[in-house]
Amino acid sequence: MKSLQTNSLENRYTLIKGIRSYAMVGALIVIWVLFAILTGGTFLSVRNLSNLFRLTGIKGILVIGMVGCLVSGEFDLSIGSVVGVTGAITALLQTQYDMNCVCAIAISLLAGLLIGVWQGYWIAYQNVPAFIVTLGGMMIFRGATVLVTKGCSIPVSNPDFALLGQEYLPGWLSILLGIICIGGFIFFEQGMRRRRSSYGFDIASKRVLFGKYFLVLVLVGCFVFGFNSYQGIPVPVLILLILYFIFAFLYNKTQYGRYIYAVGGNSKAAKLSGIDIRKVYMKVFVMMGFLSAVASNVLTSRLASATPNAGNSFEMDSIAACVIGGISLTGGRGMLFGALVGALVMTSLGNGMSLLNLTAAWQDVIKGLILLMAVWFDVSSNKQNR
């Protein structure tokens, strides 16, 4: 009887998750078609899509870290400011101190790690709420960004550094990357199918499975050959994909990931079962600091400069992307892939509104309303599942 109830709950959750995933993809298609009509086709031009995916690559890196925070039951409001200060460090070291770009990047990544340790210490070991710690961090590191940049942009002209954010993959490498992505998707899908079958859960028919494979093949093929007809896949997309596969493995296949979901689902039960929840929180915020520094270097490379306001509102965009992508604000639920689709949705909205010449103020209003609706949907879903 207990086994039947478990299967029923699991199947219900899978159904809800599937509906939500299809709804996200459907919303993305509607957004793209709508902006294509309103911009006279400019939105779907290969050049604009290249810029769109380049920016998604940057924000997607932050979303990967935010998934860990939200799934553990916490969040980080400081990531935009951390992006600003670590990017300023990279630019300052190269411009004023003539440092090699590799060394400058390494120092900025170390700075991101130390910021994560600092915030993780207060949250995990001093029991200060993450809201207060990261809100304070948002102000501290934004002020530090202004101090480092002295309120002005710091240009970076190093051609090697420009590879991170401005260059494209050659055609053959883009095709190879597409093949790897398709193979990776099939591998993970088959693994999930075997696990569900071994536990006695329902699995999709082979016809549905092969239909899904065919759809992914077509989408990836169009993506690769479309970008190759322009200049190739942007390097930030490659960086995002590498990090996605690494963290998808960490979140789904390792003790680290299982502990994050356990703590987010019920921190008291996790503690009673022997999990050191302090270490879990510390690791989550250290990873967030590191990924913020990675994103900052890609952003600084793309802009060829560090600015005092770099990263503004990135934390809100990241949280909104995660919630839209199915990450629960109460912790313990959500998948990384869905969050990245949410990042693409948010970036598409921003890109489309910019093409329509909407002011930043109106863009903030619309994004805020979307965040509100996404949170309302998350809260409503949680009530229905109780």
The answer on 344 and 202 residing in a single domain is: no
The answer on 305 and 160 residing in a single domain is: yes
What is the domain extent for residue 202? Answer: 169-233
* The total number of structural domains that make up the chain: 2
- According to the model, what pLDDT value does residue 184 have? 83
- Please write down the HEC assignment for all residues of the chain: CHHHHHHHHHHHHHHHHHHHHHHHHHHHHHHHHHHHHHCCCCCCCHHHHHHHHHHHHHHHHHHHHHHHHHHCCCCCCCHHHHHHHHHHHHHHHHHCCCCCHHHHHHHHHHHHHHHHHHHHHHHHCCCCCHHHHHHHHHHHHHHHHHHHHCCCCEECCCHHHHHHHHCECCHHHHHHHHHHHHHHHHHHHHHHHHHHHHCCCCCCCHHHHHHHHHHHHHHHHHHHHHHHCCCCCEHHHHHHHHHHHHHHHHHHHCHHHHHHHHHHHCHHHHHHCCCCHHHHHHHHHHHHHHHHHHHHHHHHHHHCEECCCCCCCHHHHHHHHHHHCCCCCCCCCCCHHHHHHHHHHHHHHHHHHHHCCCCHHHHHHHHHHHHHHHHHHHHHHHHHHC
- According to the model, what pLDDT value does residue 332 have? 86
Does residue 372 belong to any structural domain of this protein? Answer: yes
Categorize the per-residue pLDDT at 386 as very low, low, confident or very high, splitting at 50, 70 and 90: low
How much of the chain exceeds pLDDT 90, in percent? Answer: 59
The answer on 319 and 206 residing in a single domain is: no
Does residue 385 belong to any structural domain of this protein? Answer: no
5-29 pLDDT, tens digit each: 444 444 454 545 555 656 777 788 8
Highest mean pLDDT: which of 61-70, 182-191, 193-202? 61-70
- Pairwise pLDDT comparison (204 vs 85), residue with the higher score: 85
**pLDDT beyond 70 at 225:** yes
The answer on 261 and 209 residing in a single domain is: no
- Pairwise pLDDT comparison (252 vs 19), residue with the higher score: 252
CATH number at residue 95: 1.10.3470
Note the pTM of the prediction, 2 decimals: 0.90
Does residue 125 belong to any structural domain of this protein? Answer: yes
Categorize the per-residue pLDDT at 43 as very low, low, confident or very high, splitting at 50, 70 and 90: very high
**Mean pLDDT value of segment 78-102:** 95
